[in-house]
Amino acid sequence: MRYYVLDRGDQLSVDLSEQFHKLAAERGFRLDAESPEIVISIGGDGTMLHAFHTFIDHIPDIAFVGVHTGHLGFYADWQADELPQLIELMGSAGNSGSIRPRIVKYPLLELEIHRKSGNASYIALNEFTLKGVDGTVVAQVDINDQTFEMFRGDGICISTPSGSTAYNKSLGGAMVHPTIEALQIAEIASINNRVFRTMGSPLLLPKHHHTDIFSRKEQRLLLTIDHVNIQVDDLISVRCQVAKEKVSFARFRPFPFWNRVREAFLG
């Protein structure tokens, strides 16, 4: 089995990474930084986002596994003291044993960013946010090439189903099961009065729909794709839609989505 480990960098995560390498060598696993079959993320959800973007060009060929050492590990199936059990199950699967991982696939968000200086495409695992640097954002929101609303406020968040439990949740958005291929639009502190109106409620768009956000004044904006920040002052528009690609997670034991939600938020 070809594997790679990416850790958060704190002492516990580094120690667990070294332990994983030792146990993996005993099992005959091969460390491969170029084309691993499985990528182990040791840390928190931020570490998983970093792992995802590190291997963004190989997403169809990789499955991710999360080991939790932080305060909240929504993407993590395993605790720090369960590393030997994880290695045991991975070894059994690698030797064509009776235990095979269940591969679950989650939808991703595809972004096409159009600027006066050029265009770029991105993929997000959790969410994309657009915020103002100096003040109120003014942006036209279209759905399927039809004007939907003129937004004024702090910003807009577009999330994936798996990302619906992150920033989207704090904005009052719905938590969406990741088998539902959709994207969610949530407003960040919109202005609503007798002059300016927005929908004010989160919206779910299915995979065959798209939304475009057009900048409607000269403004400096902060675009955030998961944990990556891009400041721009020449934005024309951003098109958001469900990506054709999906991210894969290897489940070596059952951990249903709603159990994950309960453990993360209710304890």
Closest CA to 131 of 198, 184, 183, 187: 187
> How far apart, in Å, are the Cα atoms of 148 and each of 67, 91, 109, 193, 249?
42, 52, 20, 17, 35
Binding-site members are 45-46, 50, 126-127, 152, 154, 165-170, 189
Question: Which H or E run includes 151?
Answer: strand 146-159
Q: What are the DSSP E strand ranges found in 1-37?
A: 2-7, 30-31
In this structure, are residues 7 and 47 in contact, taking their beta carbons and an 8 Å threshold? yes
Question: Is 45 known to be catalytic?
Answer: yes
How far apart are alpha carbons 203 and 173 in whole angstroms?
8
**Whose structure tokens read 């779910």?**
204
Q: How far apart are CA 158 and CA 261, in angstroms?
A: 20
What are phi and psi for residue 127, nearest 5 degrees?
-165, 165
What lies within 8 Å, CB to CB, of 70 at 6+ separation is 8, 43, 44, 45, 46, 47
Task: Report which residue type is found at 186.
Answer: A
Q: Which entry of 7, 10, 15, 45 is annotated as an active-site residue?
A: 45
**Strands 2-7, 38-43: pairing kind:** parallel
Q: Based on the number of CB atoms within 10 Å of its own CB, is 201 exposed (0-12), middle (13-18) or buried (19 or more)?
A: exposed
Q: Which residues make up each annotated binding site for NAD(+)?
A: 45-46, 50, 126-127, 152, 154, 165-170, 189
Is residue 240 within 8 A of residue 213, CB to CB? The reply is yes
The catalytic residue positions are 45
